[in-house]
């Protein structure tokens, strides 16, 4: 719903939970868009995994992320 509100065509963006094959999905991804409504206490593991595959990430300006 958010993607269509932003003008993206149906099927252009997908949300996956952490119970799926995350590495397989990351390998199919061109970029990881990370969002959070709360200030993270630790660097998000998903972003670490994406960076190990050299996949660009887009993330909010959180304190823990700015530290790196």
pTM surpassing 0.75? no
Q: How confident is the model at residue 18 (pLDDT cuts 50, 70, 90)?
A: low
- Residue 58 three-state SS: strand
Hey, where are the domains in the chain? 17-66
pLDDT, the chain, mean: 83
pLDDT at 1: 63
pLDDT tens digits, 28-56 = 889 998 887 777 788 888 899 999 999 99
Q: What is the structure's pLDDT at 31?
A: 92
Q: Write the CA distances from 27 to 1, 24, 38, 50, 57, integer angstroms.
A: 25, 5, 27, 9, 13
Contacts of residue 57, Cβ cutoff 8 Å, sequence gap at least 6: 31, 32, 33, 34, 47, 50, 51
Tokens for 29, please give them: 């991804």
Residue labelled with tokens 């149906």: 10
């Amino acid at each position: 719903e958010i993607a269509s509100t932003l003008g993206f065509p149906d099927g252009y963006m997908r949300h996956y939970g952490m119970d799926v094959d995350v590495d397989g999905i990351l390998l199919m991804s061109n970029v990881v868009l990370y969002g959070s409504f709360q200030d993270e206490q630790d660097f998000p593991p998903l972003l670490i995994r994406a960076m190990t595959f050299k996949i660009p990430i887009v993330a909010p300006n959180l304190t823990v992320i700015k530290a790196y």
